[in-house]
Amino acid sequence: MKKVAVVVLALAMLMTFAAVAPAMAVKPSVVDCCFRAATKADLDYGEFWWTGGDTILHVRGLTKLMSLFYGPTLKIGEAIISTDYDFNTKTGKGNFVRTWEMTFFEPVIFPSMKPAGIPNPYGIGTLEGKEVGEATRIFFQIPGGTGLSLADFTGKLVATHGTGDFEKAKLMADTLGFPLPPPPMKPLFVAIDVGGTLAEPTGELTFHG
């Protein structure tokens, strides 16, 4: 009887370990993440209208194709970014909601676009998410009153839908937008720092097993 009890106890312990082991195996890993998005092309200027005696601007569907950089010359991906925003020109403040459709690929050297010969620091695949934030400036990218872009803004980006290496990944990062070239020169396009800088990365890319 004692031998049977020992065998039963051993089997119970094995079953318990088997149940716990998968949970231990899928412990998420967190990677410090940062990159810069810079305008490559304007895809859609969207729709815009004014209210409040032509002081409040409303823009819907402003869409850009942006390159993703890890450092000044290392391009690691591209993103289609669409923005809806409302901006009060009287107070100089506005709010926005932005969708990100990011594609990460094997790094290339910009602007030659030759293979860099190193792996992507974050992985290969797609990652989609949303950003919300506040802005303190807008500017016209092209003459004639179209291409109204936000500048000087801060936000928070959360991306959870991915494929490839990002199938079970989640990105959380602060964003900082600014015009290039910087004042007092006339701005031509917008850059967005995601997750701080290479020197001080603040974004978190979490991979679930």
Q: Is residue 156 part of a domain?
A: yes
The region of weakest confidence among 7-21, 24-38, 45-59, 160-174 is 7-21
Q: Is residue 23 part of a domain?
A: no
161 or 149: which carries more pLDDT confidence? 161
**What pLDDT is recorded for position 144?**
46
Number of folded domains that form the chain: 1
State yes or no: pLDDT of 120 exceeds 90: yes
Q: Is residue 10 part of a domain?
A: no
Q: Is residue 176 part of a domain?
A: yes
**pLDDT tens digits along 63-110:** 999 999 999 999 999 999 999 999 999 999 999 999 999 999 999 999
Helix (H), strand (E), coil (C) string for the chain: CHHHHHHHHHHHHHHHHHHHHHHHHCCCEEEEECEEEEEEEEEECCEEEEECCCCEEEEEEEEEEEEEECCCCEEEEEEEEEEEEEEECCCCEEEEEEEEEEEEEEEEECCCCEECCCCCCCCCEEEEEEEEEEEEEEEEEECCCEEEEEEEEEEEEEEEEECHHHCCEEEEEEEEEEEECCCCCCCCEEEEEECECCCCECEEEEECC
Q: Is residue 9 part of a domain?
A: no
State yes or no: pLDDT of 202 exceeds 90: yes
Q: Is residue 17 part of a domain?
A: no
**What pLDDT is recorded for position 18?**
41
Range of the domain at 162: 30-207
Q: Is residue 15 part of a domain?
A: no
Q: Is residue 22 part of a domain?
A: no
State yes or no: pLDDT of 13 exceeds 80: no
pLDDT confidence of 147, banded at 50, 70, 90? low
